[in-house]
Each structure stands twice: as C-alpha cells, then as structure tokens.
C-alpha cells in the first residue's frame, strides 16, 4: 500500500526496523538518555524559549489536547477557541467537559481566520486563546503571526495544536510567544501512533505548577518531575519513543527542521501543480504544506477513497460527517517521494479515463 493520509503516515525502513526489535526494559540509564535527547531535540525544533520543557504522553494527540486544557487552564479562565473543523470542535468539547468558560469563533469549512473576526474580542477580559495551527480536517493553516499579535496585545495564554503542523510548516514558539505546542508521533515525525508531545513555555509551566488537576495519568506535574531524570510516571510506548529518537536525530543530521519543511513543501508543490487539469477544487483558503484538501467536482470523495484503496492499493485521507462525500485529502508528510506521487497521479488519471471522476 502507498499511504498519502495525514496519519499514521509512511515510515522509512530504519524506523520500521526499530519497531521489529524486542522492546527493551525502560527504567535504565540508557532509556533515560534517549528521553532526555528527545526532549532536547523537540525543544530545538519547536524553537521553544529558554526554560521550556517537553513531556511525552503515551496517548494520541487528543490525550495531549486534554492534558493541556486540564493542566494549563482552570474554570477561572476565559478562553477564545477557533472552530474550523472536527479538531477545532474537539477543543470546544474539551473546554465544555472541563468547564472552562469560552467564546467560540466558528468558521465554515476551508475558511481562513481574519483580523476582522478577532476585533470584537479585543480587551474583553479573555485570558487564553486555543487553536489548531493547522485544522487537519479542512486543510486550513491559520495565520499564527496574526493570532500571536492578538494574544500579545491582550496578554493571553496561547495554546497551539500543531499536531499536523510541526515539522511541515514554520513554527517558532519563541517568536510567536506561544505557551503550549502539541504534536504527535504519527504525523511529520513519521513514526507509529501512540505518543503525543506537549511543549510548555515558562509561563505555561508556572500555570501547571500552580494548578491542581483532578486526574492521575494526565497530571503534567508528575510527567515533568519524572522527565527531569529522563523517565515517565507510567509505562510509556517504549518502542515508539525509540523510533522518535531515531527520527529526531535523522532530521537533525540532514539539516534540521528547515530542511525537513523544505522537503515536505516541495512534495506539496509538486502534487498541486500536477493536479491542475483534474476535476478537483482545493477547498482551503490558506493551506499547510502537510496536506492538500480536494473537492471532486464530478464524483463522491468517499467513492474515490474507496476505489483507490480497493483497486489501486493507495490510501488517501477521507473525511467524515458532512464532508464525507465532498472532500478528501492528500497528505505530504511521511516517507514519500515524487515517484510515489507519480503513482498516485497515474491512478487518478486512470479513474478519469474510467469516468469514475
């Protein structure tokens, strides 16, 4: 199978070979060194400010979204949340569950956030801003520089889900004055799913240390204390964390985050240029390098996903809900090459000849 989804994505042979090894015992100095290196490189690649920390949660990105909400925010806060798709809705749901007061800015699918939309919320007593840097379900990349300016003017905590943004697009945590960055193992890190990562600024760390969350597994104070010695409070996804370590070192050796972003951007640009004559419309007003969201003008999006999967051995990324029949997505993260996209393009053109699209 060729995998053009946005997670889990394709891993290279080196990463896969680690997954085939026996999982070692982890309460050892050797594993602690791996974890300390994972934290150091994650802080480096996210350009986190001095004094920041990174914690590794054995759980999907949603686990780290929830951990961030319950450890950094309290019912005394008043948040603004951007809801432009299924993952924005997930933040809305989490804020509701944990009784964090908030105002929701609801966007239509594919719509970009503008300064005009933020203007009514200036100087209204808000304390936090919660957003997906990239709303993966619709492909929209929000203007984080614009949001950062709003947060600075209003002295807001700035929480960013960068799960599909990290390593695919520029993300400078210090320049943005972001307080929380969330990412996951199965996106541009191109490792198996099972681990998510939270980077916390000094301001966010102060919040965590002052908070009293009613949970055990997602208590970030415990994670931070154990992380000082390169360990985790509970048994982690040891194999995945070893794969993350290899992947982070691989990126560092090949030129760092900028080189990885350039590689992904090159694949995205190549694919978008090649599909200009196919009956697809790009639905996003502002795209990430990570994914191209496509509306087929002559066929069902889900039918295209199904035929590619069943007859060509190719996965693209379907949508659910009210976008199931109208939008599918082609990812550009993971161990992919232009030759892989040529295979996908050949299949799409064959579907066109067969009048499936």
pLDDT digits (tens, 9 = 90+) for 62-75: 999 999 999 999 99
* Residues 205-243: b if buried by 16+ CB within 10 A, e if exposed: bebbeeeebeeeebbbbbbbebbeebbbbeebbbbbbbb
Q: Is the pLDDT of residue 107 over 90?
A: yes
Question: What is the mean predicted confidence (pLDDT) over 238-262?
Answer: 98
Q: Is the pLDDT of residue 152 over 90?
A: yes
pLDDT for 312: 98
Question: Strand, coil or helix: what is 205?
Answer: helix
Question: What is the mean predicted confidence (pLDDT) over 113-125?
Answer: 98
* pLDDT-based confidence at residue 96 (cuts at 50, 70, 90): very high
Q: Is the pLDDT of residue 80 over 90?
A: yes
Instruction: Give the CA angle between residues 241, 245, 247 to the nearest 5°.
Output: 115
Cα separation, 27 vs 236, whole angstroms? 11
pLDDT for 38: 98
pLDDT for 320: 87
Question: Mind listing the pLDDT tens digit for each residue in 23-59?
Answer: 999 999 999 999 999 999 999 999 999 999 999 999 9
pLDDT for 179: 98
CA distances from 174 to 12, 45, 127, 147, 195 (A): 31, 11, 19, 14, 24
pLDDT for 24: 98
Question: Mind listing the pLDDT tens digit for each residue in 313-352?
Answer: 999 999 988 899 999 999 999 999 999 999 999 999 999 9
Per-chain mean pLDDT for the chain:
97
**Which helix (H) or strand (E) segment is 65 a member of?**
helix 61-72
* pLDDT-based confidence at residue 20 (cuts at 50, 70, 90): very high
Determine if the pTM surpasses 0.75: yes
């Amino acid at each position: 199978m060729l995998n053009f989804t946005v997670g889990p994505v394709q891993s290279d042979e080196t990463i896969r070979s680690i997954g085939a090894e026996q999982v070692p015992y982890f309460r050892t100095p050797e594993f602690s060194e791996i974890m300390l290196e994972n934290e150091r490189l994650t802080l480096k690649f996210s350009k986190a400010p001095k004094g920041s920390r990174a914690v590794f949660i054995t759980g999907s990105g949603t686990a780290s979204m929830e951990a961030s909400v319950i450890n950094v925010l309290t019912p005394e806060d008043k948040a603004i949340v951007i809801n432009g798709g299924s993952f924005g809705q997930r933040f809305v749901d989490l804020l509701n569950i944990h009784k964090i007061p908030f105002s929701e800015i609801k966007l239509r699918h594919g719509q970009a956030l503008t300064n005009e939309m933020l203007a009514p919320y200036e100087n209204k007593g808000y304390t936090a801003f919660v957003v997906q840097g990239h709303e993966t379900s619709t492909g929209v990349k929000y203007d984080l520089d614009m949001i950062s300016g709003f947060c600075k003017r209003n002295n807001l905590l700035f929480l960013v889900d960068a799960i599909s943004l990290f390593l695919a697009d520029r993300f400078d945590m210090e320049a943005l004055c972001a307080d929380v960055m969330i990412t996951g193992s199965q996106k541009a890190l191109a490792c198996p799913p099972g681990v998510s990562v939270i980077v916390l600024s000094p301001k966010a760390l102060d919040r965590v240390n002052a908070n009293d969350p009613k949970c055990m597994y997602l208590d970030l104070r415990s994670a931070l204390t154990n992380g000082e010695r390169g360990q985790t409070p509970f048994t982690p996804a040891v194999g995945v964390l070893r794969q993350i370590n290899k992947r982070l070192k691989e990126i560092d050796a090949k030129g760092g985050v900028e080189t990885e972003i350039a590689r992904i951007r090159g694949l995205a640009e190549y694919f978008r240029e090649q599909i200009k004559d196919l009956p697809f419309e790009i639905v996003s007003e502002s795209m990430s390098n990570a994914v191209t969201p496509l509306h087929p003008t002559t066929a069902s999006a889900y039918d295209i996903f199904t035929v590619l999967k069943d007859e060509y051995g190719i996965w693209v990324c379907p949508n659910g809900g009210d976008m199931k029949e109208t939008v599918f997505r082609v990812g550009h993260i993971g161990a992919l090459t232009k030759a892989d996209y040529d295979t996908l393009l050949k299949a799409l053109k064959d579907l066109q000849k067969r009048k499936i699209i």
